[in-house]
Structure formats: C-alpha cells, structure tokens
A and B are shown apart, each in its own frame.
Chain A
C-alpha cells in the first residue's frame, strides 16, 4: 500500500532525502503539474502514535521549504500508484486552485486559555460547581452564561485584530472549558513576524489569558476543499 503525505507543485524538483514512516524512502507520483509525495509499505504504518505524527509532519514541513504543499490528512492510504494518479487526475483543477490559494503563505495556530488560579482550581471548574458560586439553579445558569459571554468577548478581542493581519482565518471548536479561543490563520510568509509581534502585544493587553502561538504550519486548516470551514474539530459538528 501507499502512504501519502502531501500534494505539491514543482514535480521536477528533486525530493528531499528525509525518510517517511517506518524509515521508508519518499517517492513522487506526478500528474502534469502535480506531485503526490508518498512512501510504500507492505503493512499499514498508520498507528497515530506521537512519533508517527511528528514523522508525517516533518516530511510535510520539509517539502514546504522549497515548494507549495497541500498537506494530506494523517492516515491517507491508497492501494497503489495508479489509484494515486487517477485521484490526481480526477481532482486536478481543485488541487491546482488550492495550491494557488496557499502559495507563499503559512498557517499559524493561536490558542487562548484561562490559566489555572493560584489555588490550582481551573476557573471553569468553579463555574461548573453551583454550590460555590450561586444558591439556585437559575443563579448557576446566569453565572455560566456570564462566563461564556466573557470568554466570547475575550476571543473576539484576540481574533479580530489577528484576522486583520491574515489572508484567511478559521475558528475551531473549543476542546476544554478553560479554552477561550482556538483558531488558525493563513498568513503571508512576509507577515509572520508582524503576526507574532501582534500576538505578543495582545498577550500583554490581556494578562488574564494565556495566549499561545504555534507554527508556521503547513496550511492544514485551509485546504479542506469539500468540507469547507473545517478547521479541525469543527468538522465534527
């Protein structure tokens, strides 16, 4: 079987010597202007252990150094080279258009959280414990609503200025009660430093939040063509 990492442009450029999953060498399968970067395996190597995720990620990051990439979802397997070719052929225009959208751009991730308090109890846990904050169910619900509104206000105060520096942005589903914002931004390479400086400034303006920025990532959150708007978790809803 074939494990696929990414689709890129410049099919004539030599592939990096970096190894893929299970130390398999990388191969390219080209259709006109498109190249799928893959490795061949007799057994599926796709157990999502952390080192496998990082291996996949590093292949895609390495490709991103000298070409434009459409990262494929981890776990993309095809039976043989012919099925890779027929997929590239069938969706050629779609992939070319997606490459044009992300060319020269990278993805930055921003997540904002309420830090745990000094006593170690996360703020969300307090809001979720009616006895500690309110006497009645109604008070509890009002407190919970106020908490959510504060969080949404905080999220917008970060998301709006960051979006202004980005070409595109996606907000993801929050994964835990202490998360306030989980978002991805597609940013011109030339604007990455400016974006990071803005994150620092926003952190300074919002000392009540922990604002963390990761990247540059391959544009995972901006290439999901059929399921539009699917940054990460939002695909589940």
Chain B
C-alpha cells in the first residue's frame, strides 16, 4: 500500500548512508568471578569521580572479601593522561585482572 492507498507504481532504490563498521579487535575477556581478583581504577577526576569511584571501591571490597582493589590514584589521573600508552603500560604492569574507568558525561 502507498500513502495514497493505491498500488505501487514507482520504486526508488538508494544507498544506505550509514556505511559499514569494521571491528578489528575484541573487547577484553571478562573475569569469571570477582572473588580473589585484583581490580584497578582509571579516573579522569571529572564528573564527581572523586566521590563515586571511592564509593564503588568500598562496595566491591565489602561484597567480595579477599578481593584486592587498588587505590583510586594508583594510576595517573585526568583526561590528559588516561588515554596514553604510558598509562596503559602501567595498568598492564600492575597485574590487575580488570579495570573500571570513570567518569564520562
């Protein structure tokens, strides 16, 4: 059916303008469970991260006894540095099993 209710008479075929996306690498695998793991935080120190991330650290430590959660400032902080290769190398060298990154708005 058409807007005017009559039979189709004109066909328009056109390109999908949204293109394609190439996924070159998978996201990091998840840990199976948090108990006994080592967790890090990477903070940009913005958008109340200085309040929210410490709260989250406390919650994780309370809910998973024996877990090790590194201090919020264990890695360089701030938008200027958290995306750098240097910070990534520090995170890797720390031996953490998983990282939480915050905050964006």
Chains A and B come from one and the same complex: no
